[in-house]
Amino acid sequence: MTLRIAAVVVTYNRRDQIGVTLPRLLGEQVDHVIVVDNGSTDGTREWLAGVDDPRLVLLLPGENLGGAGGFEQGMRLAVERFDPDWIVVLDDDARPEPGAMTAFRQLSLEGWDAVAAAVRQPDGQVCDMNRPVLNPFQHRNVFLRTMLGGGRPAFHLDNAAFADTTLRPVDGASFVGLFLSRGAIAKAGYPDGRLFIYAEDGIYTLGLTQAGGRMAFSSEVRFEHDCSTFAGARGGFTPVWKTYYYYRNLMFLYRLAAGWLFWPALIIVVPKWVLKGRLQGEEDRGTYYRLLWDAVRDGLLGRRARQCRIEHGR
């Protein structure tokens, strides 16, 4: 049986990036491509409207839904309109390497609900932010390595995994080159659009595996991610309102991953978040701490609505 694959891409004001990603996707063996444009004002919509390919469907929401809302709405449309066997999700600054879809179609997919691709930067280096993960709270050896100083690398796949051609189980993955079967969506539903930005992929994929879904990593299905577009916590948040969604959603992710160990884990991570305020520009540092307070409070209370106190041009 020939698999029917639909791709869902979310974009916002990245005309140059989507201009590379969409032709790359349409050059692959993909049956449908849904592009969710979150209200771009840089010419992206006009450029997309000029692309002539019957496989392309444009979804133009009336407001910026963020990555989480864009993926939710795009996946819902893909299922309702096309009912594909698999959906592959990716950001606008990520794209399949030539032959990626063929490699995916050649995998032995029986028993797997999701497959995470091997994601590299344009220079060929593994993209650290897209390494699939093993939940340290569910694997004793991984937990011990993490606690004994291994840090983040202890629960993310290492470079050796990217050279191994066998499918290996993982617990979580990013929304860059993630293939979701019809069965995965039946188990986990759709991403939670209320999360807006940050961690929606980790929350969704951990939820999938905790619901009994089986997710594999394949080194043979290769994607490229231009990580230069990412502005995250390492150097402070620009604009500063992103602080709120980043930490609030991390609260949800940690609670899902850690279970009852969430509370002792919180004692460790929150002081680190406070110290990271030093990376924020002096003019925004006070706002950072107010937003961090809001994020921790709302994370504890389970508030998922978009309610950042700072206006950010939704």
pLDDT tens-digit readout, 248-263: 999 999 999 999 999 9
310 residue type, one letter: I
pLDDT recorded at residue 1: 65
Which residue range is the domain that position 287 belongs to? 233-301
**pTM of the full predicted structure?**
0.95
Residues 158, 273, single domain; the answer is: no
**Same domain for 255 and 128?**
no
Residue 42 Cα to chain centre, angstroms = 23
Among the candidates 229, 251, 272, a domain finishes at: 229
136 and 280 fall within a common domain: no
Cβ atoms of residues 64 and 41 within 8 Å: no
Residue 236 host element (H or E): none
Give me the pLDDT at residue 233, please.
46
Do both 141 and 277 map to the same domain? no
pLDDT of residue 177: 98
Instruction: Check whether the bond before 169 is cis (ω within 30° of 0).
Output: no
Token pair, residue 222, equals 């290769």
Show which of 229, 246, 280 is a domain's final residue.
Answer: 229
Domain boundary among 229, 259, 285: 229
Contacts of 43 (CB under 8 A, 6+ apart): 15
Is position 148 within any domain?
A: yes
Neighbours of 253 (CB within 10 A): 20
CA distance 33 to 176: 15
- What pLDDT is attached to residue 306? 79
Query: CATH no. for residue 30?
Result: 3.90.550.60
pLDDT of residue 50: 97
Counting the structural domains of the chain, the total is: 2
Helical H runs in the chain?
15-26, 44-49, 66-82, 100-105, 140-145, 182-188, 200-210, 242-258, 262-275, 285-301
| Residues of the chain with confidence (pLDDT) below 50 | 232-233, 311, 313-314
The angle at the Cα of 19, spanning 16 to 20, to the nearest 5 degrees, equals 100
Do 137 and 41 lie in one domain? The reply is yes
- Residues contacting 276, CB < 8 A, separation 6+: 233, 236
CA 105 to CA 29: how far, in whole Å?
Answer: 9
The pLDDT value recorded for residue 236 is: 84
Do 105 and 200 fall within a single domain?
A: yes
- Residue 153 and residue 271 share a domain: no
Do 189 and 40 belong to one domain? yes
The H or E element that residue 221 is part of is: strand 215-225
Model confidence over 272-292: pLDDT tens digits? Answer: 999 999 999 899 999 999 999
